[in-house]
A and B are shown apart, each in its own frame.
Chain A
């Protein structure tokens, strides 16, 4: 069930739309400080050589072919493109305009919901993310209303969302990953790479009010999926026992129960993490945790289970009774215990820039710098099974490369060039066009003429 970006279509669209260099080209990014995240390590001044969209060499003494286009990165820092490990980007546009939101299944299905079909390569938010050095997004569906937008003052408190108690499925649906490259007509790189699920208070509410109900419902759903897998023929002739879930939902759960598809579980309280770790071990599920504000309290158990964690390092408030243990030290403590950590921003797609700053923030609270860089590059790639293609600057991988004015985790640093699969990306966005239009100038004509 893997779909690849239509590279040919993308390339032709690009050549029609803009003067961007074609993919079949050799590019040498020279003179920059390289944070490779790969075997080449950190290089004070080196070269990244790109050919036909792939990285072919990374090092301090790389011979640059005569026909290569030279990109001077001296005084700058070169890193792999950043990866958002869990986001609504590409399936969400304006939170309060429901018609633009495709990150939630609604009432008709659960596990079968497939976020890939809502991915919009022309989202106005993609260029914003790209300008902040993000080249790929792992798009994860959510329960109820997507995103958060979370400003109390902005009416978040007067929106109840579409979240309703007692609906049939806990599962939020299937995860996809998307490229943020300009000019592609189909941005989905790989669909069905995970199954999302909310536990804790959200899951309990969905299951009718209690955690006990949520876990039992989840267990029975997985058992039904196994049963269904063994009895498809009987199901087809109406000879199977009834299932509370649709055929589509059950089909979608089969790779999960077979341990082929990771289950992304949003969970917060330490005891809930303990429960899901036990459950996943019993059921032989492949697990990824998201949120995990109290993860540090059970860090050893998470590490022992080799379960990776996606966290928002800014979470340090007891925002609910399941996050009383939130602390800025979470990432550092998890990492120290041996947990693979990927850092995300808040889910707000209007807050796209936050991932790398959150990684930087964690450095002040115990996360080593190298782990912080990995948390927004190589770790998300590893966690989602994409590390053969992206996540580091090493030969054979896609040439997703960002050139920065300085340390990528530092606030005032910005990207000056972004390459995705070797193609240099336009460094503009709707926001930048607005800024340019309203740059302080004297004119007798309204800005609409600019």
Chain B
């Protein structure tokens, strides 16, 4: 980075130290000073230290902050629908009430409040909005031309410094198709060529001109990591490390050593600064910001990892460096270590039965989800695909069918969590969305029928209580700029 470390002379109170670490780039001892106004240095005993903007990862407002605003909504009651709450409950005929963007009531005996817009949901099904924890919409958009393909920074094995949100093209028509399939929230991940692929971003699936306009407020960042074949193939072919799985592991461990060192430097600096001691701030490093954010527990590991033995190795690495893996992705062999994953509290995200396209997916089976469910693991069905994301409900149904075939049936009440509450848990947003519970964001899908049927469609999709898609009303069938005037305009859904 460009700047030279500054000499910092501070005589700070605990209050201002707290301010310093809590996102202010300009600090002053003078309580009357407004943020953003440089402190006047008038007194040697009251020295304010001003790091140049951007040089302290925790100073100032978070960069690229969400500008998402919910679309207009009204008090609405979906009445008489078949409800899957994703908390294990199935209500054969019930009512869901949304107000102010939140779910306010759900249940068998709930009455629609007066003044509510009544939606007759008889014969229809109601579920939480679908959450796809593994999407490349926007970073690998349609059309899939090279000019728009920005998902994999395949230039070095550790690109923890890149952020997926800086590659997202909000005009990707795929967002619209996914919404018509009931998808309300997406985690957009960088690709898997690298050991550390970069930061993910969590998006509300609303049409927006900027990526910031889609960013899910308060959602934690994820860090994409990849095990196995992809990194060793990509870099092995370039004649550099890693070219083997042991090279992969050495790469992860070396990076975590650096991250721990970086974190310690900042922690030391902040501690000294807090005590008013003389301290040099470390030089900011975007790569290590992300990695140290994982060590601090702020950023969640989203780990592409197919094989059981490799997942176990990754768990060992997480113990060695004291961080937590949130989710294994693809995880074709999760069923072989379902007990371990359940015990560790690590979710696994998989397809129903995409398998066999490479050696590390060779043992993928359609029973993967059902076996994990039986073992008590947090199971997620993901897409990694702009087509499958439109029908994650049916992908879950394929996995349910396979479970039933081997005598491990999974109820609809449980399976719906695979594509709603469990991905919300894996992304750290389950306090906000993912289930139909009072107080949660009103991210809701009204289906034409049983969502696990091939014939059912998402008829109305709500995000924060606002209608964002309606299959029967062209006013709620948004098109991206790219789609205007093209042959496909007007033939969706």
Contacts and interface: CB of A to CB of B under 8 A. Distances in A.
B140 A152 contact: yes
List the 5 shortest-distance A-B pairs measured between CB atoms, nearest first.
A325-B487, A360-B454, A435-B367, A411-B397, A149-B357
Interface string A288-320: 000000101100000000000000001111111
B358 A157 contact: no
B145 to A, nearest CB: 7
A261 interface: no
A418 to B, nearest CB: 13
B406 A318 contact: no
A379 to B, nearest CB: 19
B173 A157 contact: no
Given A317-B387, A357-B454, A413-B401, A154 B230 contact: yes
B453 A350 contact: no
Considering residues B174, B387, B487, which has the most beta carbons from chain A within 10 angstroms of its beta carbon?
A: B487
A65 interface: no
Interface in A408-445: 409-414, 431-432, 434-436, 438-440
A318 B386 contact: no
A449 interface: no
Interface in A186-219: none
Given A149-B357, A316-B177, A155 B400 contact: no
A108 interface: no
B136 A152 contact: yes
A351 B398 CA distance: 12
Interface in A323-376: 323-329, 346, 348-351, 353, 357, 360-361, 363-364
Contact of B234 (A158, A328, A350): A158
B191 A153 contact: yes
Interface stretch (A2-10, A92-100, A275-283, A393-401): A92-100
> SS class of chain B's interface: helix, strand, loop or mixed?
loop
B454 A350 contact: no
Nearest to A415: B405
Contacts of B174: 317
Interface of A: 93-97, 124-125, 147, 149-155, 157-158, 270, 294, 296-297, 314-321, 323-329, 346, 348-351, 353, 357, 360-361, 363-364, 409-414, 431-432, 434-436, 438-440, 447
Interface string B311-349: 000000000000000000110000110110000000000
B488 A318 contact: yes
A94 B357 contact: yes
B354 A351 contact: yes
Contacts of A296: 491
Contacts of A440: 338-339, 371, 374-375
A440 B454 CA distance: 29
B452 A438 contact: no
B304 interface: yes
B113 interface: no
* Dominant secondary structure of chain A at its interface with chain B: loop
Interface in B350-377: 353-359, 361-367, 371, 374-375
22 contacts: A94-B357, A95-B356, A150-B385, A151-B384, A151-B385, A152-B191, A153-B304, A154-B358, A155-B233, A157-B152, A157-B191, A158-B234, A270-B487, A296-B491, A316-B387, A318-B142, A319-B144, A414-B402, A431-B367, A435-B367, A438-B371, A447-B336
Contacts of A409: 454
Contacts of B371: 435, 438-440
Contact of A432 (B136, B230, B361, B406): B406
A110 B102 CA distance: 61
A414 B401 contact: yes
Contacts of A124: 356
Contacts of B401: 411-414
B477 interface: no
B396 to A, nearest CB: 9
Nearest to B385: A151
Interface in B457-493: 457, 482-483, 486-488, 491-493
A181 to B, nearest CB: 21
A403 to B, nearest CB: 14
